[in-house]
Amino acid sequence: MRQFLTCVTVAAAMALLAVPVAMAQNGPLRITITEGVIEPIPYAVPSFVAESAAAQSYADQLSRVVAEDLTGTGLFREIPRDAHISNITSFQSPVQFPDWKAINAQALITGAVDVNGSGQLVVKFRVYDVFAGTELGDGMQFAGTADGVRRMAHKVADQVYARITGESGYFDSRVVFVSETGPKDQRAKRLAIMDYDGSNLQYLTDSRSIVLAPRFSPTGDRVLYTSYETGEPRVHVLNVGDVQSRILPTQPGMMSFAPRFAPDGRNVVYSVTQGANTDIFRMDIGSGATSQLTTAPSIETGPSYSPDGSRLVFESDRSGTQQLYVMSANGGEPQRISFGAGRYGTPVWSPRGDLIAFTKQNAGRFHIGVMRVDGSEERLLTASFLDEGPTWAANGRVLMFMRETQGAQGASSLYSVDISGRNLKRVPTPQGASDPSWGPLQ
């Protein structure tokens, strides 16, 4: 699987750029933590051209954010500006390809920014295949308010990523998560939302009640989460626009948790505990109508829909330990899909439909891993004292999760990793952070 993806990426890059790119190493497929290396594509992104004095302060920021996005994927390597031979001083002037070839820039991104009559930023960009001496796709233009300057840069980077890899991007997206402060035995938790790269953080709740595991709606307009506001954990739904939340009309006095939206944005699946038993339910949050989807006397939780809404993956300890199961979205007999050593939980279906990401606990370590929907080709991407709760980037190529460090001073933070196991990195947050949910491409 890793090889396949690597080859797709490389092949796409070769086809489009028509230049040789180092091939990834070959090796047998196996359940292992992959640390494969692929040669990133060198590119140059000179400072965008300011087309008026008012646009001056945005020009450099735009190109910097584009570079952070692209280099941050691990698939691209920026050629530093002090190595550039040509300067781009006009968006319209012809590109001096030999100057970019000489520094081995395989891709060149040029851009310009202006402020229009109504005070909006107008951003234009072009992508060039340097070695073919041609433009890659057409130039594009975005307009937006000045406080959305980073978003406009993310949109440029999403386009560049899509043109070079043939996959949609994920940079113009947000993450909702739990911000954490205080020691382990008095931890205060608040819901927070930020851009995928940690910018523009805002808090959505205060820390009076414990809040857990927020999950975005398919369009990112609402967030489901679990709160102890009423004394026991109950599922709430929050409107991102006006930050108003309401409790879902699950049975009062009973624990409900582990919510997730269906792809239709109207149905919600979640767990309810009755006595020792925890089962999965579904609610139409428009009408409040509920149905029970599992009836086993064991713990069934962590449900996640397939992108077409026809199936659910969830975890159950009906076999004696936590394992992953797939069933029809209307319930019925589930099929177990996890059979490796250890315990499997928190399954999430890829937005591409091809993979299920999970948390695996084995021999005192935690892993984030992926497997095919039928349970085959399991691959572990990370290992640590405590890695938990993967969430997919919109393009199904990157996962974000929480990592908690060991011991009395242990704290949690967010990390992301490619589904190849490459490019593991911390997502910057000002305080502790857990339970990320990665929203759609905006």
Which positions lie near another protein, rule CB under 8 A? Answer: 183-187, 209-210, 212-213, 228, 230-233, 252-253, 255, 257-258, 271, 273, 275-276, 278, 299, 301-302, 315, 317, 321-322, 345-346, 359, 361, 385-386, 388-389, 404, 406-408, 410, 435
Q: How far is the CB of 157 from another protein (least distance, A)?
A: 33
Minimum CB distance to another protein smaller for 245 or for 250? 250
Contact 165, 9 (CB under 8 A): yes
d(CA 253, CA 273): 10
Token pair of 342 as six digits? 């250890």
Q: How far is the CB of 238 from another protein (least distance, A)?
A: 18
Minimum CB distance to another protein smaller for 181 or for 273? 273
| Token pair 């242990």: residue | 410
Q: How far is the CB of 235 from another protein (least distance, A)?
A: 12
Entry field: residues in the chain:
442
Phi, psi angles (nearest 5°) of residue 299? -90, 115
Minimum CB distance to another protein smaller for 101 or for 187? 187
Residue type, 225: Y
Please give the C-alpha separations between residue 430 and each of 200, 211, 302, in angstroms, as whole numbers: 11, 18, 28
Q: How far is the CB of 409 from another protein (least distance, A)?
A: 8
**CA torsion through residues 271, 227, 217, 176, sign:** negative
Nearest of 133, 106, 128, 135 to residue 40 by alpha carbon: 106
Q: How far is the CB of 351 from another protein (least distance, A)?
A: 21
Minimum CB distance to another protein smaller for 321 or for 442? 321
Minimum CB distance to another protein smaller for 109 or for 433? 433
What DSSP state is assigned to residue 384? B
Minimum CB distance to another protein smaller for 6 or for 226? 226
d(CA 130, CA 141): 21
Q: How far is the CB of 232 from another protein (least distance, A)?
A: 5
